[in-house]
Protein backbone atom coordinates (compact mmCIF):
# COMPACT_ATOMS: atom_id res chain seq x y z
CA UNK A 1 0.00 0.00 0.00
CA UNK A 2 1.41 3.38 -1.03
CA UNK A 3 1.97 6.01 1.63
CA UNK A 4 -0.61 8.85 1.57
CA UNK A 5 0.52 12.05 -0.12
CA UNK A 6 0.51 15.18 2.00
CA UNK A 7 -1.58 17.90 0.35
CA UNK A 8 -0.21 21.48 0.44
CA UNK A 9 -2.37 24.40 1.55
CA UNK A 10 -4.74 26.13 -0.88
CA UNK A 11 -5.68 29.26 1.16
CA UNK A 12 -9.01 27.72 2.14
CA UNK A 13 -9.05 29.47 5.54
CA UNK A 14 -7.29 32.72 4.66
CA UNK A 15 -7.65 35.37 7.41
CA UNK A 16 -9.92 33.19 9.52
CA UNK A 17 -9.46 32.85 13.28
CA UNK A 18 -9.75 29.36 14.71
CA UNK A 19 -9.79 27.95 18.24
CA UNK A 20 -8.58 24.34 18.49
CA UNK A 21 -8.79 22.40 21.76
CA UNK A 22 -6.45 19.54 22.75
CA UNK A 23 -4.07 20.97 20.16
CA UNK A 24 -0.69 20.16 21.70
CA UNK A 25 1.57 17.47 20.35
CA UNK A 26 1.24 15.09 17.41
CA UNK A 27 -2.42 14.04 17.57
CA UNK A 28 -5.42 15.16 15.54
CA UNK A 29 -5.58 18.53 17.31
CA UNK A 30 -1.94 19.33 16.60
CA UNK A 31 -2.32 18.22 12.98
CA UNK A 32 -5.44 20.37 12.64
CA UNK A 33 -3.65 23.43 13.98
CA UNK A 34 -0.85 22.95 11.45
CA UNK A 35 -3.24 22.36 8.53
CA UNK A 36 -5.22 25.48 9.49
CA UNK A 37 -2.04 27.56 9.50
CA UNK A 38 -1.06 26.11 6.13
CA UNK A 39 -4.48 27.18 4.85
CA UNK A 40 -3.94 30.77 6.01
CA UNK A 41 -5.76 30.85 9.35
CA UNK A 42 -4.75 32.33 12.68
CA UNK A 43 -4.99 29.77 15.50
CA UNK A 44 -5.60 29.96 19.23
CA UNK A 45 -4.68 26.67 20.85
CA UNK A 46 -5.90 25.15 24.08
CA UNK A 47 -4.71 22.02 25.87
CA UNK A 48 -4.72 20.69 29.42
CA UNK A 49 -1.00 19.81 29.12
CA UNK A 50 0.69 23.17 29.65
CA UNK A 51 4.27 22.11 28.87
CA UNK A 52 3.35 20.30 25.68
CA UNK A 53 1.15 23.22 24.65
CA UNK A 54 3.99 25.69 25.14
CA UNK A 55 6.29 23.54 22.98
CA UNK A 56 3.66 23.32 20.25
CA UNK A 57 3.02 27.07 20.31
CA UNK A 58 6.74 27.83 20.12
CA UNK A 59 7.31 25.47 17.18
CA UNK A 60 4.33 26.69 15.17
CA UNK A 61 5.07 30.35 15.87
CA UNK A 62 8.64 29.91 14.65
CA UNK A 63 7.38 28.37 11.42
CA UNK A 64 4.27 30.46 10.69
CA UNK A 65 4.80 33.68 12.67
CA UNK A 66 4.09 34.64 16.26
CA UNK A 67 1.23 36.90 15.18
CA UNK A 68 -0.69 33.90 13.86
CA UNK A 69 -0.29 31.53 16.83
CA UNK A 70 -1.43 31.92 20.43
CA UNK A 71 -2.09 29.40 23.17
CA UNK A 72 -3.58 29.14 26.64
CA UNK A 73 -3.77 26.08 28.91
CA UNK A 74 -7.37 24.92 28.99
CA UNK A 75 -9.01 22.00 30.78
CA UNK A 76 -12.39 21.66 29.07
CA UNK A 77 -13.94 20.35 32.28
CA UNK A 78 -13.38 23.82 33.82
CA UNK A 79 -15.85 26.46 32.64
CA UNK A 80 -13.61 29.36 33.70
CA UNK A 81 -10.72 28.01 31.62
CA UNK A 82 -13.01 27.53 28.60
CA UNK A 83 -14.22 31.10 28.87
CA UNK A 84 -10.64 32.36 29.17
CA UNK A 85 -9.61 30.54 25.98
CA UNK A 86 -12.42 32.05 23.93
CA UNK A 87 -11.86 35.48 25.48
CA UNK A 88 -8.23 35.29 24.34
CA UNK A 89 -9.31 34.70 20.73
CA UNK A 90 -11.71 37.62 20.90
CA UNK A 91 -9.15 39.92 22.50
CA UNK A 92 -6.37 39.09 20.04
CA UNK A 93 -8.40 38.93 16.83
CA UNK A 94 -11.72 40.60 17.52
CA UNK A 95 -13.68 37.38 17.33
CA UNK A 96 -13.53 33.84 16.00
CA UNK A 97 -14.62 32.11 12.82
CA UNK A 98 -13.94 28.41 13.47
CA UNK A 99 -13.90 26.24 16.57
CA UNK A 100 -12.59 22.67 16.58
CA UNK A 101 -13.63 20.69 19.64
CA UNK A 102 -11.00 17.99 19.72
CA UNK A 103 -10.60 17.32 23.45
CA UNK A 104 -11.52 13.80 24.49
CA UNK A 105 -10.53 11.09 26.92
CA UNK A 106 -10.55 7.36 26.29
CA UNK A 107 -9.71 4.24 28.22
CA UNK A 108 -10.56 0.56 28.28
CA UNK A 109 -12.67 -1.14 30.93
CA UNK A 110 -15.30 -3.85 30.90
CA UNK A 111 -18.66 -2.47 31.92
CA UNK A 112 -18.99 -4.89 34.84
CA UNK A 113 -15.69 -3.60 36.24
CA UNK A 114 -16.08 0.09 35.35
CA UNK A 115 -16.23 2.51 38.25
CA UNK A 116 -18.43 5.58 38.47
CA UNK A 117 -15.28 7.71 38.38
CA UNK A 118 -14.07 6.06 35.15
CA UNK A 119 -17.43 6.60 33.51
CA UNK A 120 -17.85 10.17 34.72
CA UNK A 121 -14.33 11.29 33.83
CA UNK A 122 -14.63 10.14 30.21
CA UNK A 123 -18.09 11.71 29.86
CA UNK A 124 -16.98 14.98 31.45
CA UNK A 125 -14.00 15.51 29.16
CA UNK A 126 -15.38 14.04 25.95
CA UNK A 127 -19.06 15.02 25.97
CA UNK A 128 -19.44 17.74 28.58
CA UNK A 129 -16.23 19.43 27.41
CA UNK A 130 -17.56 19.51 23.85
CA UNK A 131 -20.81 20.98 25.18
CA UNK A 132 -18.98 23.72 27.12
CA UNK A 133 -16.84 24.72 24.14
CA UNK A 134 -19.72 24.54 21.66
CA UNK A 135 -21.78 26.75 23.94
CA UNK A 136 -18.93 29.26 24.21
CA UNK A 137 -18.44 29.22 20.44
CA UNK A 138 -22.12 29.76 19.65
CA UNK A 139 -22.45 32.55 22.19
CA UNK A 140 -19.50 34.38 20.65
CA UNK A 141 -20.62 33.80 17.06
CA UNK A 142 -24.23 34.78 17.78
CA UNK A 143 -23.13 37.98 19.51
CA UNK A 144 -20.91 38.88 16.54
CA UNK A 145 -23.99 38.79 14.32
CA UNK A 146 -22.00 38.29 11.12
CA UNK A 147 -22.86 34.66 10.35
CA UNK A 148 -20.52 32.28 8.61
CA UNK A 149 -19.04 30.74 11.75
CA UNK A 150 -18.22 27.05 11.91
CA UNK A 151 -17.93 24.48 14.71
CA UNK A 152 -16.36 21.08 14.04
CA UNK A 153 -16.57 18.41 16.73
CA UNK A 154 -14.36 15.33 16.94
CA UNK A 155 -16.57 12.27 17.39
CA UNK A 156 -15.57 8.66 16.65
CA UNK A 157 -16.80 5.66 14.72
CA UNK A 158 -17.37 3.95 18.07
CA UNK A 159 -20.33 6.30 18.42
CA UNK A 160 -21.89 4.01 15.79
CA UNK A 161 -20.01 0.72 16.22
CA UNK A 162 -19.90 -1.49 19.28
CA UNK A 163 -16.49 -2.26 20.77
CA UNK A 164 -15.79 -4.15 23.98
CA UNK A 165 -14.30 -2.15 26.80
CA UNK A 166 -15.46 1.15 25.29
CA UNK A 167 -18.93 1.69 26.77
CA UNK A 168 -18.02 5.05 28.37
CA UNK A 169 -16.14 6.36 25.34
CA UNK A 170 -18.76 5.12 22.86
CA UNK A 171 -21.57 6.70 24.88
CA UNK A 172 -19.68 9.98 25.03
CA UNK A 173 -18.95 10.03 21.29
CA UNK A 174 -22.54 9.10 20.40
CA UNK A 175 -23.51 12.02 22.61
CA UNK A 176 -21.17 14.30 20.66
CA UNK A 177 -22.95 13.27 17.45
CA UNK A 178 -26.37 14.03 18.94
CA UNK A 179 -25.12 17.33 20.35
CA UNK A 180 -23.80 18.23 16.90
CA UNK A 181 -27.19 17.64 15.26
CA UNK A 182 -29.13 19.63 17.85
CA UNK A 183 -26.64 22.51 17.98
CA UNK A 184 -26.71 22.72 14.18
CA UNK A 185 -30.46 23.36 14.13
CA UNK A 186 -30.19 26.11 16.72
CA UNK A 187 -27.10 27.71 15.19
CA UNK A 188 -28.60 27.81 11.69
CA UNK A 189 -30.84 30.64 12.88
CA UNK A 190 -27.79 32.92 13.12
CA UNK A 191 -25.82 31.55 10.19
CA UNK A 192 -23.43 29.17 11.96
CA UNK A 193 -22.73 25.60 10.85
CA UNK A 194 -21.97 22.70 13.23
CA UNK A 195 -20.60 19.39 11.94
CA UNK A 196 -18.44 16.53 13.22
CA UNK A 197 -15.83 14.06 12.06
CA UNK A 198 -15.80 10.42 13.16
CA UNK A 199 -12.31 8.91 12.78
CA UNK A 200 -11.69 5.21 13.15
CA UNK A 201 -7.98 4.82 13.87
CA UNK A 202 -5.56 7.74 13.60
CA UNK A 203 -2.22 6.71 15.06
CA UNK A 204 -0.19 9.08 17.21
CA UNK A 205 2.14 8.79 20.21
CA UNK A 206 -0.51 9.58 22.83
CA UNK A 207 -2.79 6.82 21.56
CA UNK A 208 0.02 4.29 21.75
CA UNK A 209 0.52 5.15 25.43
CA UNK A 210 -3.07 4.39 26.44
CA UNK A 211 -3.90 1.45 24.14
CA UNK A 212 -2.36 -2.00 23.95
CA UNK A 213 -0.27 -2.94 20.93
CA UNK A 214 -2.46 -6.01 20.43
CA UNK A 215 -5.64 -3.94 20.15
CA UNK A 216 -4.02 -1.45 17.76
CA UNK A 217 -2.82 -4.30 15.56
CA UNK A 218 -6.29 -5.83 15.54
CA UNK A 219 -7.99 -2.51 14.69
CA UNK A 220 -5.47 -1.75 11.94
CA UNK A 221 -6.12 -5.13 10.33
CA UNK A 222 -9.81 -4.26 10.04
CA UNK A 223 -9.13 -1.16 7.95
CA UNK A 224 -9.77 -1.64 4.23
CA UNK A 225 -6.45 -0.02 3.30
CA UNK A 226 -4.61 -2.22 5.80
CA UNK A 227 -3.19 0.78 7.63
CA UNK A 228 -4.19 3.38 10.19
CA UNK A 229 -4.94 6.99 9.26
CA UNK A 230 -2.37 9.70 9.77
CA UNK A 231 -3.67 12.51 12.03
CA UNK A 232 -3.31 15.00 9.16
CA UNK A 233 -5.67 12.88 7.04
CA UNK A 234 -8.38 13.49 9.64
CA UNK A 235 -7.33 17.16 9.80
CA UNK A 236 -7.87 17.45 6.05
CA UNK A 237 -11.54 16.57 6.52
CA UNK A 238 -11.77 19.09 9.36
CA UNK A 239 -10.34 21.72 6.99
CA UNK A 240 -13.05 20.81 4.45
CA UNK A 241 -15.79 21.20 7.07
CA UNK A 242 -14.33 24.52 8.23
CA UNK A 243 -14.06 25.89 4.70
CA UNK A 244 -16.52 27.27 2.19
CA UNK A 245 -16.43 23.98 0.29
CA UNK A 246 -18.92 22.58 2.83
CA UNK A 247 -21.12 25.70 2.97
CA UNK A 248 -24.39 23.73 2.68
CA UNK A 249 -23.49 21.10 5.29
CA UNK A 250 -24.64 21.30 8.88
CA UNK A 251 -25.59 18.73 11.51
CA UNK A 252 -23.58 16.04 9.74
CA UNK A 253 -21.06 13.55 11.11
CA UNK A 254 -18.51 12.56 8.46
CA UNK A 255 -16.82 9.19 8.86
CA UNK A 256 -13.04 9.32 8.33
CA UNK A 257 -12.50 5.61 8.07
CA UNK A 258 -11.63 2.84 5.64
CA UNK A 259 -12.85 0.13 7.96
CA UNK A 260 -14.91 -2.69 6.51
CA UNK A 261 -17.54 -4.60 8.54
15-51: per-residue pLDDT in tens?
999 999 999 998 999 999 999 999 999 999 999 999 9
Burial group, residue 8, by CB count within 10 angstroms (0-12, 13-18, 19+): exposed
Per-residue pLDDT tens over the stretch 154-204? 999 999 999 999 999 999 999 999 999 999 999 999 999 999 999 987 755
Q: How far is CA 209 from CA 31, 102, 203, 216, 224, in A?
A: 18, 18, 11, 11, 25
SS3 (DSSP) at 250? coil
pLDDT at residue 224 tops 80: no
Q: Which domains does the chain have, with CATH numbers?
A: 17-256 (3.40.50.720)
Percent of the chain exceeding pLDDT 70 equals: 88
List, by residue number, the catalytic residues. Answer: 169
For residue 194, list its beta bridge partners. Answer: 151
The pLDDT, as a whole number, for residue 3 is: 77
Residue 260 has pLDDT above 90, yes or no: no
Checking if the pLDDT of 110 tops 50, the result is: yes
Q: What pLDDT score was predicted for residue 26?
A: 87
Across 254-258, average pLDDT: 87
Global confidence as pTM: 0.92
What pLDDT score does 221 carry?
A: 58
pLDDT digits (tens, 9 = 90+) for 227-249: 667 899 999 999 999 999 999 99
Amino acid sequence: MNEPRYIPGHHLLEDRTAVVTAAAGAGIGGATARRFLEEGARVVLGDAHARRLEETERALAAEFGADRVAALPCDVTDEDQVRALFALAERLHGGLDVVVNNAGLGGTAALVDMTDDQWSRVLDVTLNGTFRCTRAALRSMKAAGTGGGVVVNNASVVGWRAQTGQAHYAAAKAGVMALTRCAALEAAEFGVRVNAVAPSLAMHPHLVKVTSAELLTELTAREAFGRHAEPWEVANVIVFLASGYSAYMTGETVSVSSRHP
